[in-house]
Amino acid sequence: MSLSSKHLLGIRNLTKEDISLILQTATQFKEVLQRPIKKVPSLRDITIVNLFFENSTRTRISFELAEKRLSADTISFSASSSSVSKGETLLDTVNNILSMKVDMVVMRHSASGAPHFLAQHIPAAIINAGDGINEHPTQALLDAFSILEKTGGLEGKKIAIIGDIMHSRVAQSNIYLLKKMGAEVVVCGPPTLIPKYITEALGVQVEYDIKKTLEWCDVANVLRIQLERQNQVLFSSLREYNLAYGITRRLLDSLSKEIVIMHPGPINRGVEIDSDVADGNQSIILQQVENGVAVRMAVLYLLADRGQ
């Protein structure tokens, strides 16, 4: 079994079989990560460059760790300390790095479509680690893996994605993946943070009432308010957002059932989620981070296998 694509640019272009293969392979790598010796030789002699043109904590460390666990040779690159700050273009930067015989590129960029552009111009396999407001495919895969692990399946599961849907690549990738795998998806947030035609475009239901949404769902994936991507006022204040849509202990205690709480990070504590919920026993936020390493190992392994 192999993936249908040479690159991982987004979930949109993956098949259901691709997603299942990645999740099954990640299960095997999660088992490897429980062993005393967590390293396997699968990517020996493969060279991977991590190109981060935008800040990251979880995704970058997770990819670097996944590459090391697979015995790949890795180079990490930050735009702020590179010749990009002297005006070098994306294509020149990548071509210079590739001339040093690099096999795979993991890239995060603030411009939507940047990894797709690269994939048309260079021979190496590209993995999208988040592009603008477009997609964050490995986040959606690790979210799906975590839901599967916690609840036993994706088919028929009721998943709510709550908050800043408008600016969220995590929301978009999650919606593509969950719909392909047969889950029901509702997006919830203030009308100003939900794209107008999302039901027609992506086949999800929209709900503006947070209590009703939480009563409906099995799992709530709570998103960060992305103030850095908002160039106009979309709600009156962070305090008011917390009062209307923040996930609080009181709100969870008022429900008739116990739901699973997820967040991709970084968290704005006291805005979209309160600390006692983020750190509480319904939260699987740190399991999501843990699972990210196994999922990224699976993606790297399957793409390297396809390239050989």
Q: Is 10 in the site for ligand CP (CB under 6 A)?
A: no
Q: Is 132 in the site for ligand CP (CB under 6 A)?
A: no
- Taking the complex as a whole, how short is the minimal distance between the CB of residue 296 and ligand CP, in angstroms? 11
Looking at this protein, which amino acid is placed at residue 289? V
Cα separations (Å) of 248 from 252, 256, 262? 6, 15, 13
Q: Given the complex with ligand CP, which of 123 and 266 has the nearer CB atom?
A: 266
69 with 297: CB under 8 angstroms?
yes
265, 267, 270, 287: which one binds ligand CP (CB under 6 A): 265
Start-to-end Cα distance in the chain = 14
Q: Given the complex with ligand CP, which of 59 and 242 has the nearer CB atom?
A: 59
Q: Is 266 in the site for ligand CP (CB under 6 A)?
A: yes
Q: Is 242 in the site for ligand CP (CB under 6 A)?
A: no
- Taking the complex as a whole, how short is the minimal distance between the CB of residue 264 and ligand CP, in angstroms? 4
Q: Given the complex with ligand CP, which of 11 and 207 has the nearer CB atom?
A: 11
Q: Which residue, judged by CB position, is nearest to ligand CP in the bound state?
A: 59
Stretch that binds ligand CP, among 43-51, 97-105, 254-262, 263-271 (CB under 6 A): 263-271
Backbone φ, ψ for residue 214 (5° rounding):
-70, -35
Q: Which residues contact 123 (CB under 8 A, 6 or more apart)?
A: 98
295 with 142: CB under 8 angstroms?
yes
Q: Is 130 in the site for ligand CP (CB under 6 A)?
A: yes
- Taking the complex as a whole, how short is the minimal distance between the CB of residue 129 and ligand CP, in angstroms? 7
Q: Please list the residues that pair with 128 across neighbouring strands.
A: 107
Total residues in contact with ligand CP, by rule CB under 6 A: 11
- Taking the complex as a whole, how short is the minimal distance between the CB of residue 47 and ligand CP, in angstroms? 22
25, 93, 128, 139: which one binds ligand CP (CB under 6 A): 139
CA dihedral 105, 111, 112, 116 (to 10 degrees): -40
Residue 71 token pair: 């015995």
Q: Which of residues 57-76 bind ligand CP (CB under 6 A)?
A: 57-60
- Is beta strand 184-188 parallel, antiparallel or unpaired with respect to 219-222? unpaired
Ramachandran category for residue 152: left, alpha or beta (phi over 0 → left; psi -120 to 50 → alpha): left
Q: Given the complex with ligand CP, which of 102 and 106 has the nearer CB atom?
A: 106
Q: Which of residues 155-184 bind ligand CP (CB under 6 A)?
A: none
Q: Given the complex with ligand CP, which of 56 and 82 has the nearer CB atom?
A: 56
Q: Name the nearest CA neighbour of 128 among 53, 40, 46.
A: 53
- Taking the complex as a whole, how short is the minimal distance between the CB of residue 224 and ligand CP, in angstroms? 8
70, 105, 264, 302: which one binds ligand CP (CB under 6 A): 264
Q: Given the complex with ligand CP, which of 246 and 264 has the nearer CB atom?
A: 264
Q: What angle do CA 35, 29, 137 make, to 5 degrees?
A: 145
Backbone φ, ψ for residue 50 (5° rounding):
-100, 110
Burial tier of 262 (Cβ tally within 10 Å: 0-12, 13-18, 19+): buried
Strand runs labelled E in 223-276 = 260-262
Q: Given the complex with ligand CP, which of 145 and 207 has the nearer CB atom?
A: 145
Q: Given the complex with ligand CP, which of 80 and 96 has the nearer CB atom?
A: 80
Rounded CA-CA distance 171/194 in Å is 11
- Taking the complex as a whole, how short is the minimal distance between the CB of residue 58 and ligand CP, in angstroms? 4
Which residues contribute to the site for ligand CP (CB under 6 A)? 56-60, 130, 136, 139, 264-266
